[in-house]
Every structure is written in C-alpha cells, then in structure tokens.
C-alpha cells in the first residue's frame, strides 16, 4: 500500500474505499491521522509493546501476542521486497524462506483491534497483519501496512483520492 502511486485506477479506488471504511469506523479523517502520528512518534515501535497494546488520547490498538524485535526487523525487511514480487514469501530454495514462513505463522493469527476512546466516534475495526491468498502467496494487509509502516503522506493521498469516472 505504501506504493499507492504505482497502483492502477481500480487498485487506487479499492485502496481508497478500504481505508475510508477504517477511517470512518475510527471517528473520521482527523482522528485517524492523529492515530498514525501517535504510532510514528512512539519509540520503540508500538508493535513491540509488552502490554500488547498501544494507547493514545483518542483510542487504542490491542492485540493478543507480544511481538519481539527480531520478528519486527524481519517484517520490516521483507515488506519492502513484497512490492517487487507480490509475495512476502521468498522462493522455497531461498535460505530465508523458513524464517519468513515462521514469521507469517506467528503473526497471521493475531488480530489488531483498533477502537476510538469514545464509542460515539465509531465502532472501530479489526485488522490482521497478512492476507493469505493461498499456501504459496501471502501479502501484507494494506491497512496494517498503513497503520504501522507507511508514511502519513501516503495515507493522506489515499484518503483524498477521487476515483476517476
């Protein structure tokens, strides 16, 4: 999702629609962008929180399992390669295949529950880290990617995108 400019018109429209569902479920554009800013400012990375959660003034993100530094480093490394070949998994002959497969098996079942502080702002949403297409193809979930890794400007571009007629 971080390479939004490289998507075709249908891909951009789909990304916009997906993101807008999440934005509206979290209370609107302003609240969502403040969430992203809070995540980007937090050091160390919020995914490594021992409490399995991220809290900020307008809401929370919770998940069920602690994510360690080595898993986060590997995820950050392989997500850059995914945009080139459309798959997080390297070739089975690649020496990093088993590490990446274990990462996917570890993180795939985890659900990230994003909720606004005030229920009147929205019901929130749930996102998983990966979209498993089949046994051999796994992609990073675009909303998860936007939440934790992509530049805020990319999210703004997607939110402000106007589909062509």
CA dihedral 20→41→60→149, nearest 10 degrees, is 50
Q: Are 138 and 89 in contact (CB under 8 A)?
A: yes
* Beta strands, E only, 49-158: 53-56, 59-62, 111-116, 125-128, 130-132, 138-140
* Model pLDDT, residue 165: 67
Find where tokens 């005030």 sit. Answer: 118
Q: Are 63 and 113 in contact (CB under 8 A)?
A: yes
* Model pLDDT, residue 17: 92
Q: For residue 78, give the H/E element and its range.
A: helix 69-85
Find where tokens 């749930």 sit. Answer: 126
Q: Are 18 and 26 in contact (CB under 8 A)?
A: no
| The pTM of the whole model exceeds 0.85 | yes
Tens of pLDDT, residue by residue, the chain (165 residues): 677 888 888 888 999 999 999 999 999 999 999 999 999 999 999 999 999 999 999 999 999 999 999 999 999 988 888 777 778 888 888 898 999 999 999 999 999 999 999 888 889 999 999 998 888 888 899 999 999 999 999 999 999 998 776
Q: Which of 132, 118, 117 is nearest to 55 (CA)?
A: 117
Q: Helix or strand or coil: residue 146?
A: helix
159 DSSP 8-state letter:
H
Q: What's the chain's length in residues?
A: 165
């Amino acid at each position: 999702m971080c390479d939004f400019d490289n998507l075709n018109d249908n891909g951009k429209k789909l990304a916009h629609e997906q993101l807008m569902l999440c934005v509206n479920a979290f209370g609107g554009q302003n609240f969502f962008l403040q969430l992203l800013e809070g995540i980007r400012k937090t050091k160390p990375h919020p995914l490594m929180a021992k409490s399995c959660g991220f809290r900020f003034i307008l809401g929370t993100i919770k998940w069920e399992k602690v994510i360690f530094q080595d898993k986060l480093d590997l995820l950050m490394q392989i997500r850059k390669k995914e945009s080139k070949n459309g798959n997080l998994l390297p070739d089975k002959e690649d020496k990093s295949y088993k590490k990446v497969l274990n990462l996917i098996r570890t993180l795939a079942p985890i659900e990230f529950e994003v909720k606004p502080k005030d229920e009147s702002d929205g019901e929130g949403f749930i996102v998983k880290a990966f979209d498993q297409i089949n046994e051999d193809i796994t992609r990073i979930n675009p909303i998860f990617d936007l939440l934790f890794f992509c530049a805020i400007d990319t999210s703004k571009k997607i939110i402000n995108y106007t589909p062509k007629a």
